[in-house]
Chains A and B, each alone.
Chain A
């Protein structure tokens, strides 16, 4: 019976039906075959989106879009270039650095690939970097975005399980930095090997100036982080404060944002939110059916029957998630699998915060692996180069990401040290 749910879902997904509606339709078919009432469709949709924490999603999306419209991307890149440009492969390093800073604003990897890629890929090409390399750096480094706070996947993980968004945000800082440094290392080694250019060291004054230009963007990340950590506001409030902050900075400091541009930016952010929330709503319906059928227990039991060893369980979960992440969109995968797998992880004594980190990292790595790596798609359309070439060029970066994932999986302190510092 429950097989219908999964088979129909996978079938619809492969046929190209949007993930949100694939979830809804497979649940619909299941309901028709069982004796559940159809009224649960609107009911679970409503219940899925009537959650206060979810309001932070449009907030962070809008804040990111506003900052982008204020010309923040160029400023962040200029700043990173001023600091890192004089090292060999400087522009590549600046690309990674910009992704880290930008990740503190936007919260989604695709936005990072698109906005940084459209500036960086042509610029790197001009300086003589191979296009496949530039695209690979851009795509992989943008996966740092959802790990460094604020992060939409972390908000979703928190909503699903009642974990604190603040704790999850802070837990992402060290893994995000590790990933960033790892990717920079690979960039540097490859650049030395291929003799990619370095720029002249910029005078201190220029560096200071570029820092001042990027300062307001960095401040936004700090405002969000310390606001939440300090208990000044909730994550939802933080996202809205970030929106107001972004409007003020865009209008008054950078002066590239115009009042007339606001409705369009708001509308775009709202439509993106709407498509995400339909997904959240139908995933809630899908998850409800799984709970009725006691699927989470079933999966947990069968995994735990195989082994009770923490090391092995985590390894199995990682392999499963990497596979799922390669095929499915992060938030959809999170919605369906996080509650299911969390039970298993808790059983073998993994901290829920650390587990959320493992899960999000796994799924964002999938954003840069074929066949459904969205960041690869975006990078390939900017660089006008085939997916295969970028994937091949991205292999060393993928290995580093996997290494950091292993560290996060087996060294709990990486995720848990900072939250324990702030919250105990």
Chain B
């Protein structure tokens, strides 16, 4: 189950990244090689970027990619370290849970607007914040679960 989620997200992130690269390349090539340049490239690239970040933010928890100051943590005993880790992850869940919940009214507000050039409903774009909140929360919970399993 979790592996399917991992794989799906990983591919979604890679595809957003590739789409972003392709879009920006179109922008560059069009400016010099074509008589007209599409006006939507910058917006599309930005949207790909935002989704790449939002979908990747949870995976980054799994990889422990977020930089922290570990000098104090390193002095703890292994057992206390795991306990601290669980506390830290819980704090992250609290924060991202709040973001998840409050992103929903935000999405509702912005559905009234369309994006400037692609005319995409901005609700779809701001929904990335809902995804980010949810995924980081979920992956932090996975990590706590792993910690508990390890300490048993």
Contact = CB atoms under 8 A, between A and B. Distances in A.
A16 B53 contact: no
Chain A contact surface mostly: helix
Given A233-B28, A240-B25, A266-B18, A38 B60 contact: no
Given A16-B69, A39-B102, A275-B67, A266 B53 contact: no
A244 B22 CA distance: 9
Interface residues of A, number: 55
A236 interface: yes
Interface in B77-98: 84, 88, 91-92, 94-95, 98
Could you say which of A271, A272, A273, A374 has the most chain B C-beta atoms within 10 Å of its C-beta? A271
Nearest to B24: A240
Interface stretch (A45-53, A77-85, A124-132, A214-222): A45-53
B144 interface: no
Contacts of A39: 102, 105-106
Interface in A84-131: none
Contact of B129 (A45, A54, A236): A45
Contact of B95 (A14, A25, A43): A25
Contacts, number: 165
A329 interface: yes
Contact of A17 (B13, B54, B88): B88
B75 to A, nearest CB: 11
Could you say which of B10, B13, B18, B68 has the most chain A C-beta atoms within 10 Å of its C-beta? B68
A332 to B, nearest CB: 8
Contacts of B55: 274
A65 to B, nearest CB: 12
Interface of B: 10, 13-14, 16-18, 20-21, 24-25, 27-28, 42, 45-46, 49-50, 52-57, 59-60, 63, 65-73, 84, 88, 91-92, 94-95, 98-99, 102-103, 105-106, 126, 128-130, 132-133, 136
Given A20-B66, A45-B132, A372-B71, 6 more contacts: A12-B91, A16-B72, A17-B68, A25-B95, A42-B133, A272-B65
